[in-house]
Amino acid sequence: MFKWYWRFFTKDSSLWSRVIKAIYGDSGGLERNTFATYTSCWSNIVKEVTSLDEKGLNLCNAICFKLGNGEKARFWEDRWLDGMLFKTLFPRLYALELCKDCTVASKICDYTFDSSFRRPPRGGVEQEQFMALLSLVKDIQLVPMEDRWSWSLSSSGEFSVSSVRRLIDDKTLPDATQKTRWVRLVPIKINVHAWKVKSNSLPTRFNISRRGILIDSLKCGTCDMGVETVNHLFFSCTLVRNLVDLIVRWWNVTRVDIDSYSDWVLWIQNLRLPIKNKRMLEGVFYMSDWIKNPSLIPL
């Protein structure tokens, strides 16, 4: 949906941009609470962007100007220097500015920089911000070409849905301290089940209760001796331990106490077996996890 947001900002002459501006004004209704009373295609897009912003994903920050002649990019209101927004970076100077929509070209050509202020910056914070602003823009050179919008999440500067997806995934998905272990010797659904064991994504009684669903008991339905968590169900349950004893006896490997997926991976890695045999043994454990808990449906 955000690509339509991108097109509104960057394609001024497009039919989409002209229609939105004709209905909601040049700003697209983004500067005021336009969408509080009714919904539309554009309002739904804006609400989704706002929803992501509330979760710490401000996609608008990735829209910035690639500076040319500076006649299109606004000095205070647009991101045109390393993704920085000057009105946020220098709020005291922005409050002094009389022409808040001034372009970069008009500001750069004004060597004093404070001629458009309602008064010269005073000491303290104002003077510090003014000196910091001068140091940032002193080396800016304008070139005889138009300013153009750029997408900072892509090296090409062009918007792509995949770059947004990667950003959302990096922000919302849990960090993986270990690589996903994929065994080609077993069906895909078995590998997916093992991944869900690793990521604690199965609907155990404990996980269901955490979602606010009332259940009669949190105890393991197999051994009735502990809370039915993923670690208990696949590593600590009496049935599981008995099954592991049979597997290690069959494969003639050393038996150790395992209480979590990470402990199990460490045990597999330290076994004195050829690589191929280790993968086969992993497949055996994956299949045993799948078979002994057929009632669990991955979320």
User: Both 3 and 52 in a single domain?
Assistant: yes
Full domain range(s) for residue 111? 68-146
Residue 229 belongs to a domain = yes
Q: Are residues 22 and 89 in the same domain?
A: no
User: Comparing C-alpha atoms, which of 139, 10, 141 is closest to residue 79?
Assistant: 10
Entry pTM:
0.55
Q: Report if residue 178 sits inside a domain.
A: no
DSSP H helical ranges for 55-184: 86-89, 91-96, 104-109, 125-137, 161-172
Identify whether 142 is part of a domain: yes
Question: Quick check: is 79 in a domain?
Answer: yes
Cα 234 to Cα 228: distance, rounded to the nearest angstrom: 10
Tally of structural domains, the chain: 3
CA distance 9 to 65: 11
Per the DSSP assignment, residues forming a β-bridge with 149 are 65
The 10s digit of each residue's pLDDT in 19-69 is 998 988 888 877 666 666 667 888 888 888 888 888 888 888 888 988 899
User: Within this chain, do residues 41 and 166 fall inside the same structural domain, yes or no?
Assistant: yes
Mark whether 4 and 130 lie in a shared domain: no
Q: Is residue 167 part of a domain?
A: yes
210 lies in the same domain as 281:
yes
Q: pLDDT per residue over 147-197, tens digit each?
A: 888 998 888 888 999 999 888 888 877 665 556 778 888 999 999 889 888
Residues 251, 288 within the same domain: yes
